[in-house]
Amino acid sequence: MSEVLFEGADGVGVITLNRPEAKNAVTRAVSEAVADFLDELDRRADLHVAVLTGAGGTFCAGMDLRAFLRGEVVSLPGRGFGGLTERPPTKPLIAAVEGWALAGGFELVLACDLVVASASARFGLPEVKRGLVPRAGGLLRLPRLVPRAVALEMVLTGEPMSAARAAEVGLVNRVTADGGALEGARQLAASIAANGPLAVATAKEITNATEGRTLEEAFAIQRPLADRVFASEDAREGAAAFAEKRSPVWVNR
């Protein structure tokens, strides 16, 4: 049985961590498989957005401790933990979270662009309880996504956060009934996949590239990227489809 599954249809890819007996804990093999599927996502012209989820009612419990004790290095050079945390895909990635997203599992969530969680989902960085610190992006990304005091409370206490609280502070986009996170993420992904793929990917690129920049710097970064979109075939198709009252047919160029 494959430890990571991948499927793609209707513009949406779904990557599933498939080690339910181990709460989808990450091994070297899992990191390598996720990295390969993310490369496939970015390579395939028919896929415009992806969902990352876990099998068996748990998103991910973090690093597989048995693998750690065997001496495995589960993070990949240049890619990070889970093949994701240091180099996310160029296309949007949505986390669909059921159950626990802990430690490295939560850092996988933080590396995604959007989050859909079930009502009973829980998020946490418990490393300090074991005398450790998060090092797969949790300390770097969390304070950018939620108020600093909220991030520090999670990091310094190691206590988990509920889906309701995560939505309240802006960490989670949508909360579903238990068992509904993947379907909710698929619906969100479908609404993204319906849009111009070049525009979607470029919008993500501009948003990430201009973070922390002055407005002057941000406009300088945005200008050539936005110009590429406005000069594209998809831009003309979008305008023509609107004028002709029909659905656009995107060509991603």
pLDDT by residue (tens digit) across 198-220?
999 999 999 999 999 999 999 99
Across-strand partners of 13? Answer: 8, 50
Residue 106 has a pLDDT of: 98
Gap between the Cα atoms of 107 and 102, Å rounded: 8
pLDDT by residue (tens digit) across 141-194?
999 999 999 999 999 999 999 999 999 999 999 999 999 999 999 999 999 999
124: nearest Cα among 143, 109, 113: 109
Does residue 115 contact residue 123 with C-beta atoms inside 8 Å?
no
> What's phi and psi for 56, nearest 5 deg?
75, 20
Q: What does the DSSP assignment read for 58-99?
A: -SB-SB-HHHHHTT---SBTTTBGGGTTTS--SS-EEEEE-S
> Does the structure show a pLDDT above 90 at 67?
no
pLDDT by residue (tens digit) across 219-253?
999 999 999 999 999 999 999 999 999 999 999 88
Across-strand partners of 114? Answer: 94
Does residue 18 contact residue 5 with C-beta atoms inside 8 Å?
yes
Residue 253 has a pLDDT of: 87
Instruction: State the catalytic residue, choosing from 7, 98, 127, 217.
Output: 127
Two tokens, residue 95: 């986390």
Residues belonging to the chain? 253
Residue 245 has a pLDDT of: 93
Instruction: State the catalytic residue, choosing from 3, 21, 40, 107.
Output: 107
107 is catalytic: yes
Q: Which helix (H) or strand (E) holds 144?
A: helix 138-145
| Cβ neighbours around 229 below 10 Å, total | 17
Q: In what order do the strands lie in the sheet with 100-102?
A: 100-102, 122-124, 161-162
Gap between the Cα atoms of 92 and 94, Å rounded: 7
127 is catalytic: yes
Q: What is the pTM of this model?
A: 0.94
